[in-house]
Amino acid sequence: MIPDIKIEDYNYPLPDERIAKYPLAERDSSYLLQYDHRGAISRHIFREIPDLLPDNSLMIFNDTKVVPARLHFVRDTGARIEIFCLEPVNPAEYNLSFAATAVCEWKCVIGNARKWKKDVLSLFVPDNAPSEASELGLKAELVSREGQTGVVRFSWDGDLPFSRVLEICGTIPIPPYLNRESESIDTERYQTLYARLRGSVAAPTAGLHFTEDVLSRIRNRGIDTETVCLHVGAGTFLPVKESEVARHPMHREPFAVSIELLRKLRYSGKKVIAVGTTSVRTLESIFYAGVSCIENGHPHEVEQWSPYNREYSHSTEEALDALIQYLESQGLDELKTGTRIIIVPGFRFRFVDYMVTNFHQPESTLILLVSAFLGGDWRRVYDYALANDFRFLSYGDSSLLARASHFGK
């Protein structure tokens, strides 16, 4: 049954001066709020996190990489059109689309869409742009449109892959609530150090605090580390505009999980620490993909309300076994599918025991996820952060949260 949740119950006052507009000089110098297994709250510095993690743990990171997905074009009339690449259409596989030369098609958000008819757009090249930007001759043609989104065909001269075209012509799409344009600092700092697979239009920001030193000290403690990959979509920027959460649509995001991680989740018995809400959503989607495997013979994409629409008699172990057996039978080394899962109060967590996450926007799906994780105790955490000089949102401070069920809530 879809929960009856009013988004106004997940509002809180966030003064503009508490929103971190820029990152700190050192990634690991941010504050870290710890909410421990007893529900006690304390303040630390992020570089202390290796000493705060529970023993016998498996820490899981999202290794997606943000692409410079924001492009600016101009019509013959002089009108500017901003195009924000969301996901590849032709070729539909990210790797193939990034490797494409001369032409490819993407689903995009189109700014100033009403002013774009059927004419072919030319890249807007500012005076300070690299000479390569002009030499590429990048063009945009509207294939189809629905509201503010559409399928756009990009074409360019030469044999450079589209990934390089974006690097030359695009800008990093920082969140709109920062109220500024992308700057050179964002190219490096709006990206995790372990980012590997291109495809996101927003960073998994919980990972921005990790340095090579912090990662090394985590491993030296004997804590196992693994990665998942969920390509973060533009929906992560969007507040819930509906008063009833049941009417808020979640957009599909593709994810991949290795068979090795599935085996560790099945057999290691370790506490799972998810770095970021994207890792949480990926890990918790695994169960429903596994149930689909049991019932249909193969994993389906995970729908938004799948966790709430029915009772599940299958165990987590059975779901993992089904996925592992399916991948082995197909000769595959990773599960690739998509998810629209929304995690709200009442959700049953099956994998994640601890979460590292930043402080999120009022009335957002991420606040709902944190509330579900803390058994409704999110407001006490946020009140503490507001009272103790924590910085908020993407470039803000961090938290290490223990799941509420660990201490009897």
Domain 7-66+191-407 classification at class level: alpha beta
d(CA 265, CA 326): 16
What are the pLDDT digits (tens) for 343-401? 999 999 999 999 999 999 999 999 999 999 999 899 999 999 999 999 999 999 999 99
**Burial class (CB within 10 angstroms; exposed 0-12, middle 13-18, buried 19+) of 30:** buried
pLDDT for the residue numbered 111: 86
Per-residue model confidence as pLDDT tens digits over 66-89: 999 999 999 888 888 999 999 999
Over residues 313-325, the pLDDT tens digits come to: 999 999 999 999 9
pLDDT at residue 205 in the model:
96
Q: How many helices (H) and strands (E) does the chain have?
A: 11, 17
Quickly count: other Cβ atoms within 10 Å of residue 264's Cβ: 18
* pLDDT value at 283 more than 60: yes
Which pLDDT belongs to residue 407?
41
Contacts 24+ apart (CB under 8 A), 120-124: 121/73, 121/74, 121/75, 121/81, 122/73, 122/74, 123/71, 123/72, 123/73, 123/74, 123/169, 124/72, 124/73, 124/74, 124/80
Distance (Å, rounded) from C-alpha 291 to C-alpha 312?
8
102 — pLDDT class (breaks 50, 70, 90): very high
- Domain ranges in the chain are 7-66+191-407, 70-170
392-404 confidence digits (pLDDT tens): 999 999 999 999 8
Question: What SS3 string covers 312-352?
Answer: CCCCHHHHHHHHHHHHHHHCCCEEEEEECCCCCCCCCCCCC
Q: What is the mean pLDDT of residues 281-291?
A: 98
Write out pLDDT tens, residues 3-39. 899 999 999 999 999 999 999 999 999 999 999 999 9
Measured between alpha carbons, how far is residue 194 from residues 50, 178, 211, 212 in Å? 17, 24, 9, 9
Mean pLDDT value of segment 301-329:
97
Please tell me the pTM assigned to this model: 0.93
Residue 161 pLDDT > 50:
yes
Give me the residue label for tokens 């006052």: 13
- Kindly indicate the confidence band of residue 237, based on its pLDDT and cuts at 50, 70 and 90: low
Amino acid identity of residue 229, one-letter, is C
